[in-house]
Each structure stands twice: as C-alpha cells, then as structure tokens.
Amino acid sequence: MKLVPGFGLVDLADPTLGERLAEVGAGHLAVFAGQMRNGLMAASVAIGLEVLAELFQNECTLKAGPKGKHQPDRAAVRHGTETGKVRLGGRKITVERPRLRTADKTAEVGLESWDLATSTDMLTEHMVAAMLAGVSTRSYASVALEDVGDVAGSGVSRSAVSRTFVAATAERLAEFRARDLSDRQWLVVFADGFDFAGQMMIGALGVTADGTKVPLGVAQGTTENTAVCKTLFASIKERGFDASHGVLFVLDGGKGLRKAVTTVFDGDPIAIARCHAHKERNILDHLPDEQHAWVQRDLRSAWRNPSAVEAKAKLEQLAKKLDRINPDAAGSLREGLDETLTIIALGVTGTLAKTLATTNPMESTVDIVRAHARLWANTSLAGRMISTCSTTKQQITRLSTTDRQLAVSIPTRSVNAWMRQRRSHSRGCGPPTWSPSQLRPGCERRASGPAAEVAR
C-alpha cells in the first residue's frame, strides 16, 4: 500500500492503478494549463493548492480512516473544516482545511501537512531576498511577486512586509553578533568607519587563509572613539578570533581605532597598515585644488616603490616640499607615515598589495546597505541592514584568485619580525630599518613579481 495524492492509500498491485493515476494527472495538467495565461507562478500556485487539499485529505484518511466508513479502533475522528492561511508564491493565501479530534473528542489532532504549509520561513526568505534586491516595502506586492491568478492573497501590505523584514533582519543581526570565529585562520582585518545619515558606524571585515572575506562585526560610533572601538574588537576576540599566529590590520587612520586594536590584541603579533586612500584624502584636504595633481602623483609613486626604505625617503622629501606650502599637509603626511609602508615592508606585491593598501573591501561590503536604504529611522535599522547585507554578500564574496597569495604572502614570521622592529623603535632603540629583505629573505630580488614564498 502507498499514499498517493488524490487517492489516499492504494494497492500498488492494482492493474487499474496506472489509468486512475493518469486521470488525476490529466486533471492537474488541465488546471495548470488554464492558469498559464496568468504566468508560471499562477499556474504553480493553482496546482499547488489542489495538491495541498489532497494532502490534507490523505492525512485525515490515514488518521481517521476513509470518510463514511466506521472503524471502531480509529484514533481520530473528523470534526468539520475551518479556514486558514498558507504560504505560496510569496503570499498568504486563504484555504479550507479539515479538522480532526481524538476519538473521545477531548482534544484537537494536528495535521503535519498543515503545519508544513503554514511555515513562515519561505515568505520571510522571499521578502528578505526581494528587499536586498532593491525592492521597497511599498512596491513589494507589485514588483517582487508574480501574479497567482484568481486566488486572493494577503500579508503583502507595506506594514506587513516591514514587520516581517524587521523580524527577519533582527534575527540575522543577533546571529551576526554571536557567530563563532574560532574555527578559521584569520590573516587580515579591514576596519573602517561609515556615516549613515549622521550616524557613524564602525565595521570590521576579516579575511581567512583561503581568501574568504567574512564580516566580523559592527558598532555605532566613530573611529576616534576608543571606547566604542574597543567594545567592537573585544566582542570579536571573545567570539574566538585568534590573532596569536599573526594578523595584519588595515585601518582608516582613526586614532581611537588604532588604540583599540593595539589594546585588545596586546601581546599578539599584529601589524598595522594605514589605508592609502584615507591618508591621501587627508593630505589633499589641506591643499588647494591646483596642488592636488602633483602631490597625488608623488604619493602614489612612493607607495608603488618595492623598497620600503626608498619609499620612505621619497615621502619624507614630499613632506619637506609641503612644509613650504602648507605645514598642516606636511604634518598629516608625517603622522603615521611608517604605517603606510607596512605592506611594502612585508614584501607583499602585485594585486594583493593593491587590495591590502586600502580599506576598500570593507567599504564595498557596506555599499550594499547604502544601495538599498536611503532613510535611516534609527541605529537599529542600520545595524540590521549591515548584518543582513554583509552575511548575504559573504556567501558570494572571495578575494580574486591572484589575491589568494594571501595565505603564503604574509607568513607569521614576517609579521613577528615587523613587530619586533616596531617595539624596538617605541623603546627608543632607533627607527625600524624597513628593509623587506630582513623581514622576508630574497623578496627585494622578487619585488616586481608575485609574492609566492611559502609560509613557514
């Protein structure tokens, strides 16, 4: 015996079974074809409703026996029908379902098929996907949903969509902030601050040994606010982020952000690189427009130099020139100058060096949020959107094939050597030599080629 929609329990040995199944199949196809004029979704919903009705009846037959036939040992009895809503095609659709009660009629007997049909997961995921694709709550019904034919639907009003979306994204935010980070090897962290209609958010993006970019966390505040930054990184560390093997932090230049990183990860072999884009922007902000071109050219020329020693000399020469034009611009260049050369000092070259030179990977992640929301009612909305968009993008985001040199381009011993030089400098033992050959033997000879030394 086998349960078949439209038949209930059937005998597979019945010689007429094939013809009977063909008749039922033809009936479903007729319904399907009749609704095709309204689109594929309408046809699918129409036949889906028929199948659901059959599943309800079949489950009733299994639990209460065939309708109209007395069975003294049955565990349940039929108890009429009632209307309810199921999720199909991204809508709530009103359907009629049978009810069952225990044989002594003291309690309701549930239908597993009904519980499945009324699950909210499908509609929630559909709504979230549509919202992230750029559909507003007001236009959700007309844009994100296909026509389902003559079946009346509900649950797609602007308020209903918003409530569902808020619930779904709030859940994502909670998951985002509680994710375990101990099961991966982390090599790089990008951290930057972003403005959302007057609200500053700080975001951190990690890169694993296989080149996967993973959002680590978000917090409200500025990169100058040490307390907020420390809270963000302390949370990341508490969730299992391990920097003991050596991690490169690419920061936007905020003093609070840098202090938070060095405080939270004190004792770990970390290296800090200053974002070139932020540094360049800060310098040019002090200068008139007519001075921008040559200053920008000299900056980028120095940062392209494969030798950190020569690059630093060029930047110091540029600072002396700026002293005569605008001392504030010169001071901006000298502030954190060594950290703008970290990537060069580590011997990283090629496209990977370009990737690690700025916090653009973090910015591109947050750009998704800006693309899909314009009015920020509160900080909670910004946080929910960032976490939802970030975790969604994480599934498809990875460094380019060339950039996957990462796992072998920043070996632990390089970061450790770099940190020893920085600590010696801070104790008054003289400035770091910035010689890539000391950090990675032979990299000066291969400066123009891809970094391919295997980490040891």
Check: CB of residue 216 under 8 Å from CB of residue 189: yes
Q: Give the whole-angstrom CA distance, residue 311 versus residue 291.
A: 21
**Same structural domain, 133 and 14:** yes
Element (H, E) at 86: strand 76-88
**Same structural domain, 403 and 286:** yes
Assign 3-class secondary structure to 242-278: CCCCCEEEEECCCHHHHHHHHHHCCCCCEEEEECHHH
What is the pLDDT, as a whole number, of residue 411?
40
- Does residue 167 lie in a domain region? no
What is the pLDDT, as a whole number, of residue 168?
63
**Same structural domain, 339 and 424:** yes
What is the pLDDT, as a whole number, of residue 437?
33
**Same structural domain, 73 and 215:** no
- Does residue 63 lie in a domain region? yes
Q: What is the pTM of this model?
A: 0.60
Check: CB of residue 384 under 8 Å from CB of residue 170: yes
**Same structural domain, 290 and 188:** yes
Last residue of a domain, one of 160, 175, 198: 160
**Same structural domain, 266 and 390:** yes
**Same structural domain, 336 and 405:** yes
204-231: burial string, b at 16+ Cβ within 10 Å, e else? bbbbbbebebbbbbbbbbbbebbebbbb
What is the pLDDT, as a whole number, of residue 73?
78
Domain count, the chain: 2
**pLDDT tens digits for 240-282?**
999 988 899 999 988 899 999 999 999 898 999 999 999 999 9
What is the pLDDT, as a whole number, of residue 446?
34
Full residue range of the structural domain in which residue 277 is found: 184-439
Q: Give the whole-angstrom CA distance, residue 243 versus residue 345.
A: 20
- Does residue 273 lie in a domain region? yes
- Does residue 94 lie in a domain region? yes
- Does residue 434 lie in a domain region? yes
CA 107 to chain centre: 45
- Does residue 425 lie in a domain region? yes
- Does residue 444 lie in a domain region? no
Whole-angstrom distance between the N-terminal and C-terminal Cα of the chain? 64
**Same structural domain, 188 and 255:** yes
Integer angstrom CA distances of residue 294 from 283, 301, 319, 335, 337: 12, 10, 13, 20, 19
- Does residue 227 lie in a domain region? yes
Q: What is the pLDDT along the chain (456 residues), one digit of tens a residue?
A: 444 444 444 454 555 545 554 454 445 445 444 443 444 445 445 656 777 788 788 888 888 888 877 777 788 988 899 998 877 655 677 888 899 999 888 899 988 878 877 775 555 556 555 655 555 556 656 655 555 565 556 555 666 655 665 566 566 667 767 788 998 889 999 999 877 556 677 888 898 888 888 888 878 777 778 898 999 999 999 999 999 888 999 999 888 999 999 999 998 989 999 999 999 999 999 999 999 999 999 999 999 999 999 999 999 999 999 999 999 999 999 999 999 999 998 888 888 888 899 998 887 766 655 554 444 445 555 555 555 555 554 443 454 444 444 444 444 444 445 445 545 544 444 333 333 333 333 333 333 332 333 222
**Tokens 């095709």 label which residue?**
36
What is the pLDDT, as a whole number, of residue 151?
58
What is the pLDDT, as a whole number, of residue 120?
57
**Same structural domain, 237 and 333:** yes
Check: CB of residue 422 under 8 Å from CB of residue 432: yes
In this structure, which amino acid lies at residue 445?
R
**Same structural domain, 118 and 223:** no
**Same structural domain, 205 and 63:** no
- Give the three-class secondary structure for 224: coil
Check: CB of residue 223 under 8 Å from CB of residue 193: yes
Assign 3-class secondary structure to 337-387: CHHHHHHHHCCCCHHHHHHHCCCHHHHHHHHHHHHHCCCCCCHHHHHHHHH
**Same structural domain, 99 and 197:** no
